[in-house]
Amino acid sequence: MRLFLRLLFRNRLAGFGAVVLGAIVLLALLTPILPLQPPNATDTANRFLRPLSAGHPLGTDHLGRDLLSRLLWGTRLSLAVGFAAALVAAVLGAAVGIVAGYAGGRTDNVTMRGIDMLMAFPYILLALAIVAALGPGLMNALIAVAVVNIPFFARNIRGVTVSLAHREFVDAARLSGLGHGRILLTEVLPNVVPVIVIAMSTTVGWMILETAGLSFLGLGSQPPRADLGSMLGEARGAMISAPHTSLVPGAMILLIVMSINLLGDGVRDALDPRLRSGALARPMAATAVDRDPPPPAQGEGLLRIDGLQTEFRMGARVGRAVGGVDLSLAPGECVGLIGESGSGKSVTALSVMGLVASPPGVITAGAVRLDGEDLLGASYGRLRALRGNRVAYIFQDPLSTLHPLYTVGEQLAEAIRVHHPVSRAEAHARAVKLLDDVRIPNAAERAGAYPHELSGGMRQRVGIAMALANDPDVIIADEPTTALDVTVQAQVLKLLHDLRRSRGLAILFITHDFGVVAQLCDRVAVMYAGRIVEEGPTEAVLNAPAHPYTARLIDCVPELGGGRRRLEAIPGLPPAVDDLPPGCAFAPRCAKAQAECRDGDIALAGRDGRRVRCLYPEPAARAAQ
């Protein structure tokens, strides 16, 4: 809650809206005890008194009633009706949406077609029709406004529920024997509540406007009781001769709706995790760099990463995703970067070419050197010239990285033409050749296919072809085979292996699969909590892991024909990057942890390319050293 309020008030407009709305609500609540004149007491001798008249700070209306008193009582009524309508619409709409989205199938179809029919009517006409059927009156106006807004909530909540209905935690609840009602209440509802709150906060303003509109037309609040809409309606006849009678309720409606909308936007931003992290803010073209002078290079290598630190800054929270990584790649070498999800592998890889989204990402220390050139200090123009040209990426999910509206041939040709001044025809011919190189059958024909027309394996090959388009020196492959079945995975790995041999490519291969590492990589580096905890030649690390974490990871891998054995999961969870423990980050999960493991930094130490960040390495590795 404190975080929510802090985020909310960081948005100055939302803070302004909260203060204005708070003041209005406070005034409305205090109205019965304020020394006001009776709101409905007429005094025809004092009609249309101007503001600041004696005894009438805001003047009087056409019947001589005190405008200040009517304004406060009317505001109280309008707020109550608007919030009540929003609450009714939210509760009923959310209930309909949750049930339809969760049930799916015919229930969903029938319910949503009914909702579509309601939405097909212009909402104000529908509200007028409902009030006409029920008769004028504030309660009927409330019902009409709530009913016309139910479809809005139902549609929104149904969409969110559909995406939740088959998530793992819901399946797990079903398997554990929970009934549908319990699942809806305990698993689905808590996840849609923020969406309901966001929808309410952004619609309550317009519901107050709709209620005021109905009252303005004489269908809501009935004389002599005042709400803001009926005050406006009564004042329209004197709009020229006594404009203050219209301006006073009009200004109050403006203030209420403006403050609710500003506050609603702030609530939405504070509750939406993507907006909260800055992920939906327009990212900079290259990752922000805020570092001291770069450290000297620690050795040789085509690509050298020295002391790289990358953080995610979300307000006061700072997550250190990469906490001082040193890594090198020689020409023609394949280095595997392995670790659990969230260990910092991908952020390390994206930091190389400044592809971590800023905000919230910031590179705070270290250097990335390509042939000795510091990439973190390079201009954006220089980075663009190198991206995809000398350093290329293969991403995990080609369907989300390829553009759905262009053929794969067009996208490959564009990747070539960005870096080489060649004609369209020549770029297309090269694109076809690349597709052929990655063993896509009927390459010329396939070049005209859209990404969705290709299988997962083919799309991944297109991703590899795209990475090869400009004959790069380094390829960074971020879990390129995770989404593929084992047969296609084997083909893709063989393809990468052959290309490495034939073209002398250096590959940084990110994965969590030791089998893939064993098959493809010369060296392997194991990451945990943003740091490399062990590195060395693949065979040495796999045969005699030195770090307890590496050993436990390898123990988790089933062995074909290795007999029956229990696969022990690593107990506990990796630490949150914004709350890393002092000393060894693996200590809370390590069976060998001692008091000194939790004291101060532990260096990555060793020799002959075999290094480990541990005070008590595994005995087999000690013997191997």
Closest CB 614 distance from ligand SF4, rounded Å: 3
C-alpha separations of 182 from 153, 177, 562 in Å: 22, 10, 43
Closest CB 324 distance from ligand SF4, rounded Å: 16
Q: List residues bridging with 337 in a β-sheet.
A: 510, 525
For ligand SF4, which residue of 214, 362, 526, 614 counts as binding (CB under 6 A)?
614
Segment 535 to 554, residues that bind ligand SF4, using CB under 6 A:
547-548
Task: Report CA 8 to chain centroid distance, whole Å.
Answer: 18
Closest CB 276 distance from ligand SF4, rounded Å: 33
Show the CA angle centred on residue 99, arms to residues 97 and 105, nearest 5°: 100
Closest CB 600 distance from ligand SF4, rounded Å: 11
Q: Which is nearer to ligand SF4, 284 or 593 (CB)?
A: 593
- In whole angstroms, give the CA distance from residue 104 to residue 163: 11
By CB under 6 A, the count of residues binding ligand SF4 is 13
Q: Which is nearer to ligand SF4, 463 or 617 (CB)?
A: 617
Stretch near ligand SF4 under the rule CB under 6 A, chosen from 151-159, 220-228, 482-490, 608-616: 608-616
Q: Which is nearer to ligand SF4, 373 or 596 (CB)?
A: 596
52: left (phi over 0), alpha (psi -120 to 50) or beta: left
Per CB under 6 A, does 128 bind ligand SF4? no
Closest CB 406 distance from ligand SF4, rounded Å: 48
For ligand SF4, which residue of 228, 431, 467, 597 counts as binding (CB under 6 A)?
597
CB atoms within 10 A of CB 463: 26
Q: Which is nearer to ligand SF4, 204 or 590 (CB)?
A: 590
Q: Which is nearer to ligand SF4, 466 or 604 (CB)?
A: 604
Stretch near ligand SF4 under the rule CB under 6 A, chosen from 121-129, 182-190, 471-479, 612-620: 612-620
Segment 556 to 595, residues that bind ligand SF4, using CB under 6 A:
584, 586-587, 590, 592-593
Task: Report CA 402 to chain centroid distance, whole Å.
Answer: 20
Here the tokens at position 286 are 């290259």
Q: Which is nearer to ligand SF4, 66 or 618 (CB)?
A: 618
Q: Hey, CA dihedral for 272, 276, 279, 285, is it positive or negative?
A: positive
End-to-end CA distance of the chain: 52
Q: Which is nearer to ligand SF4, 33 or 591 (CB)?
A: 591
Closest CB 608 distance from ligand SF4, rounded Å: 20
Closest CB 112 distance from ligand SF4, rounded Å: 54
Q: E strands, 172-302, where?
A: 288-289
Closest CB 549 distance from ligand SF4, rounded Å: 6
For ligand SF4, which residue of 602, 610, 611, 618 counts as binding (CB under 6 A)?
602
Q: List residues bridging with 536 in a β-sheet.
A: 524
Closest CB 317 distance from ligand SF4, rounded Å: 25
Gyration radius of the chain's alpha carbons: 33
| Sequence-distant (≥ 6) Cβ neighbours of residue 257 within 8 angstroms | 205, 206, 208, 209
- SS3 letters for 321-372? EEEEEEEEECCCCEEEEECCCCCCHHHHHHHHCCCCCCCCEEEEEEEEEECC
Q: Which is nearer to ligand SF4, 162 or 624 (CB)?
A: 624
Q: Which is nearer to ligand SF4, 137 or 583 (CB)?
A: 583
**How many helices, marked H, and strands, marked E, lie in the chain?**
24, 13
Here the tokens at position 517 are 């590492």
Closest CB 575 distance from ligand SF4, rounded Å: 12
Stretch near ligand SF4 under the rule CB under 6 A, chosen from 65-73, 186-194, 276-284, 610-618: 610-618
For ligand SF4, which residue of 217, 616, 624, 625 counts as binding (CB under 6 A)?
616
Residue type at 80 in one-letter notation: A
Q: Which is nearer to ligand SF4, 517 or 612 (CB)?
A: 612
- In whole angstroms, give the CA distance from residue 22 to residue 19: 5
Closest CB 379 distance from ligand SF4, rounded Å: 41
Q: Which is nearer to ligand SF4, 220 or 617 (CB)?
A: 617
Show the CA angle centred on residue 7, arms to residues 5 and 9, nearest 5°: 65
Show the CA angle centred on residue 510, arms to residues 503 and 359, nearest 5°: 110
Judged by the rule CB under 6 A, the positions of this chain that interact with ligand SF4 are 547-548, 584, 586-587, 590, 592-593, 597, 602, 614-616
